[in-house]
Amino acid sequence: MVEEQKTAAGGENEELLTLVEAINILGISKPTIYRLLDRGDLKGLKVGNQWRFRKADLSTYLGRDTLAVTSASVPNDVLDEELAFFSAQLEKPVPEFAADADLPTQKTVALVSGIVELALQMHASDIHLEISRLDGENISLLRFRVDGVLHEIRRLSGYVHNAIISRFKEMTGMSLEEKRVPQDGRIECKQKGKQVSIRVNISPMLLGEALVACMLDQGTTQPRLEQIGFRAEELVKLKAIISQPHGIVLLTGPTGSGKITTLYACLLEVARPEVKTLTIEDPVEFLIPWATQAAVNVKNGYTFISALRSFMRQDPDVIMLGEIRDGEMANACFQAAITGHMVFSSLPTNNAVATLVRLLDMGVEPYLITASATVVVSQRLVRRLCDACKTPANHSKDELIQLGLTYAEVEDATFYEPVGCNECHQMGYRGRIACHEILQVNDALTGLLAKRATEEEITRVAVAHGMTTLLRDGLLKARDGATSIAEILRVVKS
């Protein structure tokens, strides 16, 4: 350190940068830069009590190959074992490696590529990698979410966990050294000729960094309403509703229930050259023809509510807001609906009736809900049985009737259950289908909302006026052979 001080005080002409300037150039936090200085990974000069940095030293640090350093700490036989596993799972083997000194890094890159390719091959929506305490040991656990359910793929060697995390950081442009705060990034790549967008989040956890990569196939055609799973009579009802000149349609359900996909399908029905369609989303996931789409930017003050206020000066016919998050947004949406606009949005509630109660709790007046021609579509995604291996199930008629079907509906019906085969990767299911309930606020419900009736009271009246519950819609889909009774009970009744 004394030698560094002499060099700094020795009057060199090179301009020295402050700590703040160095942090901005490196894109890391102050605690991280102190750790790098303590470990000797970064060169700095102490001038009095202040750190100063040469541009050349910062450039040297930025030019380092952290992935190579991380990969070098992984034994070659461990990498070979992991690569052999993924090569056996993939439709084509991992690529050959060039014989050079950077072989561990090549193998790490190939390993991550194999993980991503296997996830796409299995039609996974998400890749999960985290350190878990299993059987008294810390294990790097790799799981894929397929059709809404997490499946364990591989218990990886602890050696390769950090190398995989570093590779994802490198691919997304994240800070390789930052491990104390969450980081988000995005990868755009091509797999089998398809353009795939991967949203990556890496967050610090108790046992180490955890990764979740959300897979978005940009080449996938956005499904139409006919492909989502609405029964024929429900589809006719919904199309009639969204073709109205004004009103509000709310898609509800928990995270991962496909609300946004159904919102997009609704937009595809109504967006056309003669209709001004505006959307504000967080983020924009698919581009809709004839729609003008915008993304939330909270840092710049462009929120859902500020966008909606701006939209009202854009002469819109149809407005879509990705999600209602508070009472101010809810009231603004209903005000837009009663002033002659068709509004689409979503709300994370358990069912259609619970949505009405939630709106009241958020401060929306009953008269606004009634006057806005409100329609609530509640949705769940259930796994579709694999047609290649499903087999007839042994359900008693009394059991099915007790669940909610009628004697006529079960008399000659065949119900099925999963088996598992190579076509569905031994899961018994392949793809998903949606279950729905559609609730239209009518005169029969107006009085109940005004007196703030309970969910049970509203549900009884809604069913009496033709609403099909989520459970019953699911049971009808099971009767048609699309899914199993067990899957319906797992998703809908729980």
pLDDT at 136: 83
pLDDT: which is higher, 324 or 10: 324
- Work out whether strand 247-252 and strand 342-347 pair parallel, antiparallel, or are unpaired: parallel
- Model confidence at 187, in pLDDT bands (50, 70, 90)? confident
Report d(CA 86, CA 92) in Å as an integer: 10
Lowest mean pLDDT among 112-116, 150-154, 157-161, 164-168: 157-161
pLDDT: which is higher, 187 or 91: 187
Report d(CA 3, CA 26) in Å as an integer: 25
Share above pLDDT 70 across residues of the chain, in percent, rounded to a whole number: 93
Q: Which residues lie closer than 8 Å to 40 by C-beta, 6 or more apart? A: none
pLDDT at 13: 57
pLDDT at 218: 63
Q: Which residues lie closer than 8 Å to 324 by C-beta, 6 or more apart? A: 250, 304, 330, 333, 345, 346, 347
Q: What distance lies between CA 87 and its chain's CA centroid?
A: 28
Q: Is the dihedral of CA 35, 38, 43, 45 positive or negative?
A: positive
Tell me which H or E stretch contains 261: helix 259-270
Lowest mean pLDDT among 92-96, 223-227, 332-336: 92-96
pLDDT: which is higher, 34 or 3: 34
Taking only the tens place, the pLDDT of each residue in 237-281 is 999 999 999 999 999 999 889 999 999 999 999 999 999 999 999
Statement: the pTM of the whole predicted model exceeds 0.85 = no
* DSSP code for 74: S
Q: Which domains does the chain have, with CATH numbers?
A: 2-64 (no CATH), 70-217 (3.30.450.90), 225-493 (3.40.50.300)
Report d(CA 58, CA 487) in Å as an integer: 56
The DSSP annotation for 94-121 comes to PPP---STTHHHHHHHHHHHHHHHHHHH
> Would the pLDDT of 100 be above 90?
no
Taking only the tens place, the pLDDT of each residue in 55-94 is 888 877 776 667 877 787 788 888 889 999 998 888 777 6
Closest CA to 194 of 121, 125, 115, 126: 121
Report d(CA 280, CA 477) in Å as an integer: 33
